[in-house]
A and B are shown apart, each in its own frame.
Chain A
Amino acid sequence: DAKTTQPPSMDCAEGRAANLPCNHSTISGNEYVYWYRQIHSQGPQYIIHGLKNNETNEMASLIITEDRKSSTLILPHATLRDTAVYYCIVRAMEYGNKLVFGAGTILRVKS
């Protein structure tokens, strides 16, 4: 079962920051927070992951609360091509550990 809760959908204006929340109140100490996205009819694409510190890469930033019970994925300047389903997943970082997908958040970026 998915161990995260996300809003079903969000809208964002093109060029603005998209902030996608995720609740993971039952996260274990050895579990990381992963974010993937899926553009229509494609395989999921890895975005970012983190344990407890905030992380940033060329795609996005990940902000994890101090108690690690929630996190926010930030797309700093959303474009139309960022329209996708975004999945927040918690997983222990061991080789062979599976990713269990929840319903995700449909992000619609509008011009």
Chain B
Amino acid sequence: GAVVSQHPSRVICKSGTSVKIECRSLDFQATTMFWYRQFPKQSLMLMATSNEGSKATYEQGVEKDKFLINHASLTLSTLTVTSAHPEDSSFYICSAPTTGGNEQFFGPGTRLTVL
């Protein structure tokens, strides 16, 4: 199946700093990618839809100024957590649909810990 990668896999940062997470579709192009957040023992919660060449679409309750999304190319979307705080500590996962939309492949996730 198609491969989606994320970098970094794990990051620890101090409160107040910004953290950038990359999501890449390695063997296919994706004009749309999705960003999810998952807290311990909870399900995945969709944060936003990343659109290549246009603004991201955020789910209700997600602060667009705090979670900056840039879909720079057909294979790369980035999520920047600005001024991170301990409550932003979570598992961040991206996904990308294949061209036909039949399947959606997920990245391995990024574990963010804010001290």
Interface residues of A (CB under 8 A from B): 36, 38, 41-46, 49, 85, 87, 93-104
A98 touching B34 in the complex, CB below 8 Å, given contacts A44-B44, A87-B43, A103-B43: yes
- Chain A-chain B contacts (Cβ-Cβ < 8 Å), number: 61
In the complex, chain B residues whose CB is within 8 Å of the CB of A97 = 97, 101
Interface size on B, residues (CB 8 A): 28
Closest to B49 in A: A98
- Majority SS at the chain B contact face: strand
Decide if A101 touches B106 in the complex (CB within 8 Å): no
B residues near A, CB below 8 A? Answer: 1, 4, 6, 31-32, 34, 36, 43-46, 49, 91, 93, 95, 97, 99-109, 111
Residues of A within 8 A of B43 (CB): 85, 87, 101-104
3 residue pairs, one from A and one from B, having the closest CB atoms: A43-B106, A95-B101, A101-B44
